[in-house]
Structures are given as C-alpha cells and as structure tokens.
Amino acid sequence: MSNNSSNASNTSNTSVATATSTGNSATVQPEATPVAAGRPSLRWRVVDIAVASVIGVASALIFWLVSLIYSLGVGDLIGLVMPGFQGIYNGLWLFAGPLAAVIVRKPGAATYAELLGGVIESLMGNQWTGMDTFSTSLMQGAFAELAFLIVLYRVWNVPITMLSGAFAGVAVWLHDIFMRGQAFTGQYITIYLVTSVISGIVFAGIVVWYLYRAIARTGALDKFASGREVRATA
C-alpha cells in the first residue's frame, strides 16, 4: 500500500514537473525567436501619436519665432550681403520631422510632426499663406521621411539623421523654386541649394540627433525603444 502510494506520488510529481517544464518552454519560446526579435514594430501606439504631436506643437512655436525674426529683415540682410546664403537659415524650420522619426521610429512620424508644426505655425500667423506653409511643410516632412524609408526603418544613427536633414533641405529648395516661383538663376540657385542642405544637415541632422540623446538620458523616452537604447548604453 505504501509502495503503491509512493509510486503514484512520484508519477504525479513527474507529470507536474513535465507539465511545468513544457509550459515554461511554451512561454519562453516566442521571446527567443530570432526573427521576431529582429523585426521592428511599425504599428503606431497611442503614446507614439501623443509624443509626435507634442514634438509638432512645440516645434510650431519655434517655427513661428524663426519666421518672425526672418520677417524683420534678417533674410533680406543675408541675401543682400551674400546672395543665396539665405538657405543657411532654412534648417531652423526642418528639425521637427527628423526628431519625431528618431524618437518614435514609425513610418510617417517625420511627415506628421513636420506638417503639424507647419500648420500650427500658419494658424499662429506668418508672412506666407496657409496653403504655402502647408505645402512646404508637407514636402519637408516627406523628404525627411525618405532617409528612414531607404533603410526600411531599421537603422537609427547620426549619418541617417543627417541624410534626413539633407533631404529636407533639398525639399525647401525645390519648393521655393517650383511652388513659390522664385527667380533663381546661375550661381544663386546653386549657393541656395548648398546652404539649404548644409543647414538641414546641421540643424535637422546633427543637432537633432544629440538633442534626442540628451532627452533620452533623462528617462523621458523609456516607453520607446529609442529611449531604452540610449539608457542601456549610458
């Protein structure tokens, strides 16, 4: 009787141990799958929308201040002293898209934040029409997005962010030529392109990258892979 009980108990313990082991294996297995771990999630969450919106709104205030200063004669003065060098100012309108992209890391983040910033800037009042501001913001955001699309939203580093800023600078140049119909000719058009791209690389590329890293170190971005990545290497 005692032996039978002992055997039954051992059998029962073995079954429970096996079931537990099997259950643990089933739980751990999906997390250990290399393919799932290497595939970035491209679905937007509520927090993604919220943070991209905050970036767009905060950027709008800066865009508006930049536009105000430019309208007070800064742009004309730069153009008078060095024709075509007005482009060096353009990067100050381009940073919202790349900043949202490197933080949120979802398709459309750059376009959404840049466009939202431009629309709110226009509502606050600037020297351009609402449609003009809308079109240039859309182009800037879409071109900034292109850099991250090229690498399929898998590479996040300073060279790609600089490329995003450079593309946004090209967007400003194209918009001013074809949408605003500015009469750029010869040396002027080349200088304006080069200065716009350089400005985009500096303000919307390098500055944005290190701004994102500084914000991430505070722990404010811990809900994002971009924030946890920085904190893990700090």
Task: Kindly tell me the sign of the dihedral angle through the C-alpha atoms of 149, 151, 152, 157.
Answer: negative
pLDDT at 78: 82
- Say whether 216 sits in a helix, a strand or coil: helix
Query: Element (H or E) spanning 214, and its range?
Result: helix 207-217
- For the chain, count helices (H), then strands (E): 11, 0
Sign of CA dihedral 213, 214, 215, 218: positive
* Cβ atoms of residues 123 and 96 within 8 Å: no
* Residue 30: its H or E element: none
- Dist CA 191 CA 156 (whole Å): 30
The first and second tokens of residue 77, run together, are 């003065």
Look up the pTM and report it.
Answer: 0.81
CA distance 123 to 63: 12
CA distance 90 to 202: 11
Look at 135 and 31; give whichever has higher pLDDT: 135
The CA distances from residue 230 to 38, 89, 92, 221, 224, in Å, are: 18, 30, 25, 9, 10
Question: How far is 101 from 115, CA to CA, in rounded Å?
Answer: 13
pLDDT digits (tens, 9 = 90+) for 30-72: 333 333 445 667 899 999 999 999 999 999 999 999 999 988 8
Distance between CA atoms of 83 and 192, rounded to whole angstroms? 8
Amino acid at 53: S
pLDDT at 74 over 90: no
Least confident of 101-115, 117-131, 145-159: 117-131
Helix (H, G, I), strand (E, B) or coil at 129: coil
